[in-house]
Structure 1
Amino acid sequence: MGANARGEESNVPAKVQDNQSRGYIVPVGGAEDKDSDPVILRRFVEISGDEHARIAVIPTASRLDDTGRRYERIFKELGAADALALDYKRREDADNPEWLEYLHGASGVFLTGGNQLRISTILGGTDVARAIRSVNASGVSVGGTSAGAAILSEHMIAFGKSGATPRAGMVSLAPGFGLTNRIVIDQHFRQRDRIGRLLAALAYNPFAVGIGLDEDTAAFIDGEDTLEVFGSGAITVVDASKLEHSSMGSASDGDTICMTGIRLHILNAGGRFNLHTRVATPPL
């Protein structure tokens, strides 16, 4: 793990060993189809080992008692060999040795929706967060829906305001789990009119690619950092790498933000985007 100047652990992606490939990172925009045509969850089972899949479900973001059990049932019905909800509700739960053992032996990890700050405050800095980064670096697929998607990247959108125009102060960021530092994720994107807050997040630092996920839509990001879209909606990809100007540095709270030189792609099922080359490819 990385460390800052004071020697403290930071949420940087775990190092991938030379003989290994990072597992998929799978942010889902929320409200994924779980019954009639669960394309996204079925694909997650496939990349997690299909009939050999052993999936750790982490329902920490949710306050509903049956969330974990529901995903256990869904993954098993979709063909996984096993699925177990690790119901971390308090920070001390992260010390549960049996759950940690299951997590280290899982072939897939899936974080449910709810409130991403529940995940970060309960699991941030624990052995569970470290294990999730470590197993992903060793080839295990890690996905999450809604709040579970937001937590996957290094910089997490904690909360913000709706609206199409970016404004100073409309988005608040917090540390995520740090599986990747290449993207900033937002979910329920079109349904909740969130392009303004994603642009505002990128206005602070245009290094990352903005990924806006519609509901029932997922980005399957492979070990080579190529994203492929699955689901019924679209993904809005905001590439600010060629940003020419951002007024964020001089703006007061509530001011509109001027940004020039941004590239934007709308990708639906089968579309791809390479996070290294920043090249988008339409569906075949």
Structure 2
Amino acid sequence: MTRLLPLISLRMAAVAALFLHLAAQAGTAIVIGGATKSDNDAVWQRVVDEAGGPGARIAVFATAAANPERAAGLIVASLNRRGAQAEAIPVTPRQKDVDWQAHLNDPALIAKVAASTGVFFSGGAQEYIVDTLQPGGEPTAMLKAIRQVVDKGGVVAGTSAGAAIMSRVMFRDAPDNLQILKGLWREKREYDQGLGFVDAGLFVDQHFLKRGRIGRLLPAMRALGYTLALGIEENSAAVIKGRQVEIIGARGAVLVDLSEATSDPRLPAFNLRGAQLSYLDRGDRHDLATGLTTPAAHKLRDQKIDPAAADYRPALQFDHYFLDILADNTLVTAMAHLLDTRSPEVRGLAYRVRPRPGDLAPELGFEFRLYKGPGTVGWFSNALGGDDYTVLKVRLDVTPVRMAAPLFTPLLPN
């Protein structure tokens, strides 16, 4: 009997994973990278449209917000200006004058959520969402009502913290990219169980380029066993229907594929070889099942950049070494630079000049090597008013390096 228990547990886990996978396919998930501007019609209107258009009933949860009343009010107003009938659901642990536990279990509120055609989660601290709706890993009646909305084809949307909870496992409280690269990784601290509204094999992250979160995403994927992830930039969103992804909003998202990546176990720190990165810009579509990307229509009418083509004419002429690859938007700048120069590779560093208290290894840094490989290709367009690139299948190696301490010393007078 005892020998059967592990098998039963494994089968139950497999069934549960399959259920999550199927549930994630029924509706639409709109994963917003955070810092969503009120005038971003592409994102706000899409939420309303996916919820049914004018008159769509959208339940707004500001559960994660430090100021839930204000956060919910702004979201409700943005949705209602686009034709929705949005309403705040006062399940807000951080709002002192609200009996949120009573609201969490209120049959009338639960029924109202279940009857909605859309659900929207605010930003803030994502641990409040999972600890409130899924305490101890067990779904509450309110969470089951939210899942009903998705199961019947509705939309679940979330920005920032509300985006973090979309995958099966999520970052819980992991603001320090370098510490995670150096090995800081604890359950219920840096990571936790998410709510699993997207495909079970996809990991999502937000504020991705602005905050250099490739530094935390790569080691997290390796530790959690993910081979596919999507890092979504601020004021942008990924609309995910089953295994189809569409990027909308102001910028884009980085698709990370580790299916062919390897690590050297002999090295005493995180390392990676053969990762594959693609930058999907606004208007681009990607099929997670086939791996095929379709650039936005205006990109297809414009300039394709294929380093393997006989007529390849890169626009950029100079090599560049990026001294802080985790800086604001530097990763995608490096990817575009690689695509549009003749150089076969671009390198950059991830390190901290002034170590913080508690730094796991002050002298440890990481060199990122981006290089061209089979299928590296892209498109460029300025039709929307900016220098917009789509960059596909750039390879990435990450190598741990020992930094000098101090990195530099002042020159003294002769």
TM-score range, shorter chain: 0.7 to 0.9
Instruction: Encode CA deviations 1:96-155: one digit per residue, 9 max, x unaligned.
Output: 112211111111111000000011111112122222233212211101000000001111
1:56 equivalenced with 2:71 (yes/no): no
Q: Which one-letter code corresponds to 2:248 in the other structure?
A: F
Residues 1:159 and 2:178 aligned together: no
Whether the 8 Å CA contact 2:60–2:75 is kept in 1: the answer is: yes
| 1-structure distance, mates of 2:203, 2:241 | 16
Whether 1:24 aligns to 2:42 is no
2:159 corresponds to which letter in structure 1? T
Secondary structure at the aligned position of 1:215 is classed as coil
Task: Give 1:244's aligned amino acid.
Answer: T
Residue type of the partner of 2:46? R
Instruction: Give the greater-gyration-radius structure (CA).
Output: 2
Amino acid at match of 1:132: I
Shift of the alpha carbon at 1:280?
2.6
Deviation at residue 167 of structure 1 after TM alignment: 3.2
Unaligned runs of 5+ in 1: none
* Residue identity opposite 2:47 in structure 1: F
Question: 1:210-249: CA deviations, max 9, x gaps?
Answer: 11111001000013x11100011220110112223365xx
Aligned equivalent of 1:83, options 86, 89, 92? 86
Work out whether residues 186 and 211 of structure 1, in 8 Å CA contact, stay in contact via their aligned partners in 2. Answer: yes
Separation of aligned partners in 2, 1:104 and 1:246: 49
Match for residue 215 of structure 1 among 215, 219, 234 = 234
For the Cα contact (< 8 Å) 1:14–1:133, is it kept in 2? no
Amino acid at match of 2:154: V
Amino acid at match of 1:13: L
Q: Give TM-score scaled by structure 1 length.
A: 0.86
Counterpart in 2 of 1:126? Answer: 140
Greater mean alpha carbon deviation, residues 194-203 or residues 178-187: 178-187
Shift in Å at residue 281 of structure 1?
2.7
2:286 is the alignment partner of 1:273: yes
CA distance in 2, matches of 1:131, 1:94: 11
Displacement of 1:63 after TM fit?
A: 1.9
Task: Return the alpha-carbon distance in structure 2 between the equivalents of residues 228 and 48 of structure 1.
Answer: 16
1:16–1:184 CA distance, 2 compared to 1 (3 A)? closer
Which of structures 1 and 2 has the larger relative contact order (alpha carbons within 8 angstroms, sep 6+)? 1
Question: What is the total number of aligned residue pairs between the two structures?
Answer: 270
The SS at the match of 2:59 is strand
TM-score when scaled to structure 2? 0.60
Q: Which residue of 2 aligns with 1:263?
A: 276
Q: Give the corresponding residue for 2:192.
A: 174
Q: 1:242 corresponds to which letter in structure 2?
A: E
Query: 1: distance between equivalents of 2:21 and 2:132?
Result: 20
Relative distance call for 1:117 and 1:205 in structure 2 (3 A) is closer
Tell me: CA distance 1:170–1:272, structure 2 relative to 1, closer, same or farther (3 Å): farther
| Contact 1:28 1:143 survives alignment (8 Å) | yes
Structure 2, unaligned runs of 5 or more: 1-7, 93-99, 298-414
1:259 Cα deviation after fit: 1.3
**Percent of aligned pairs with the same residue?**
29
1:242 aligns with 2:242: no
Distance in 2, Cα, partners of 1:257 & 1:108: 40
- 1:62, CA displacement in angstroms? 0.3
